[in-house]
Every structure is written in structure tokens, then in C-alpha cells.
Amino acid sequence: MRAKHGYRRGYPVAVLVGFEDDRAVLWRVFSNVVKHEKTLWLDGDREDSKVAYNFHESIISALRPIFKEGVKSIILASSPRTGHAHEFITHVREHHAWLTQGPNKVTFSETTGSAGTLYEVAALTRTPLFRRQISETTSEETGHLVDTLEKRLNAPDQSTVVLYSLEEIEDLIFNVWKPGKPRPEQLMLTDKYLLESREKNRIHRLLQIARNKNVKTRIVDTESAAGKRLTQLGGLVFFAQLNQTVTNIRVR
């Protein structure tokens, strides 16, 4: 993946998890590069159910902050002689159903190959099969984004504020959130919007501050289903949630 001038690593696309016999290696897949995120070591015998459970839980814990950022495409890689990736998927389905269904759904897919070292990852990511799998996995994920977007746009209770203006979005994200004000929820834009904008530095700053404030952000391929829908809306969409819950005051 060749780096582009001005924004060398590109934008977040997915996470690659390489399963080895004694460890799991997490890699952040950006549009231009792949970077090592974390290595998690197996503490004991994999055949021990408690050891396997704790190991899989450590992977979930490492992925949680990435999910909160808005990246929910996960590629699981393991060699053909093992079932490590499948065992992890089984663990997720049994203990973390919220990751496979509902509004927080994450898209998991399996691929055959080693991803334990940078050399192995470089070789794997260059294969047409991996590139196709990345495309298919992220397309499924962005399909979920479209569903979320449409629900926000058509919310009958008017509990969602949707903004399309960079200035309005900055105003809501940069300021300190106060009760009664819309709570920032998610910022989405297309890669074409970012590429062609004359305000790239401004947008990158907005994205960084949004992530620092735990606002989900997602840059999507313009040609994907979500990207085409975002393009119809101008390429940039942000929504915030209005808290309409009335708090009862107790009188002592």
C-alpha cells in the first residue's frame, strides 16, 4: 500500500488479527499502510478452556477501543493447519452476541495465511484474495452504516440532530457538551470528500478531536453503498442524539 503525500498512513479501514499458536497479533489496516497495534501472548496451554477463554477475552478487550472509534471490519487470519480464527469467532458468538447482531454489529471474516510478522502481513495484503476480502468485509460493514444513517435521517421522534455543514459540526464537537444539548454520536465522510476538500487540515483536526472525545468517525469508500449515499448528502454527515429523558427529582 503506497503512502500518499500529505496524509501518509491514510484513513482507518479495518483490523487484521493474525493468530499464531502462542499469540495473536493485531494490525491496523489503513488505506495506505498497515501498522502493528498490539501483540497478545497466550498464557498457558491452548487446550485449557480457561486459558483459551482468557486469551480470547484479551483480544476483545484490545479491540474495544477500535470499535469505539467506528472501525468495525475485522479480518481474522490463521494458517490452514489450525482452527484458531474459527475458535475465536465461536467465542464471540457464545459470549459477545452484541458484536454479531444489533446496532453495534461488527463484521468478522476469516482468511487463510500467516500475519504474525510485518513481512508476513506485507505478503498477505498484496494478494488479490486479501484485497477482495477487505473490500467485501468493509462493504458489509458500510452497509450497516447505511442502515444506521437512514434510521437517523428518518427518526420519527426527532431525537436525532443531523448536520451537513463543516462549521456546524465543528461548533458541536469542539464545544464542551452540556445536558440538554445534542450529544455527538457519529461523523461520517467519503474518501473523495476528504481528498478533494480545500480544508484537509481542518478536517483532519476535526477527526482527531472527535476521536479524542470518543465520537465515532468513519471515512468510507466513495464507491461503496454507504459512500454513494453520503455523496448524495454532500459527502459529509454528522449526527448527534438528543436526550429527551426526563429525570425525576426525589424529595426527601
10-residue stretch averages of pLDDT, the chain, 252 residues long: 54 94 96 94 94 97 92 93 94 93 85 94 92 88 83 76 92 84 89 92 93 90 88 93 49 30
Q: In what order do the strands lie in the sheet with 12-19?
A: 34-41, 23-30, 12-19, 73-78, 107-112
pLDDT at 140: 86
| Overall pTM > 0.95 | no
Cα dihedral sign, 137-69-147-234: negative
Q: Which residue has the cell 478531536?
A: 209
Pinpoint the alpha helices (H) of 102-184. 118-125, 128-153, 166-174
pLDDT at 157: 67
Domain with CATH 3.30.420.60 in the chain: 12-143
Rounded to whole angstroms, the Cα distance separating 106 from 28 reads 15
Q: Which fold has domain 155-241?
A: 60s Ribosomal Protein L30; Chain: A; (3.30.1330)
Task: Classify 139 in phi/psi space as left (phi over 0), alpha (psi -120 to 50) or beta.
Answer: alpha
CB burial of residue 88 (10 Å; 0-12, 13-18, 19+)? buried
Q: Superfamily for 12-143?
A: eRF1 domain 2 (3.30.420.60)
Amino acid at 143: G
Rounded to whole angstroms, the Cα distance separating 149 from 143 reads 10
pLDDT at 250: 33
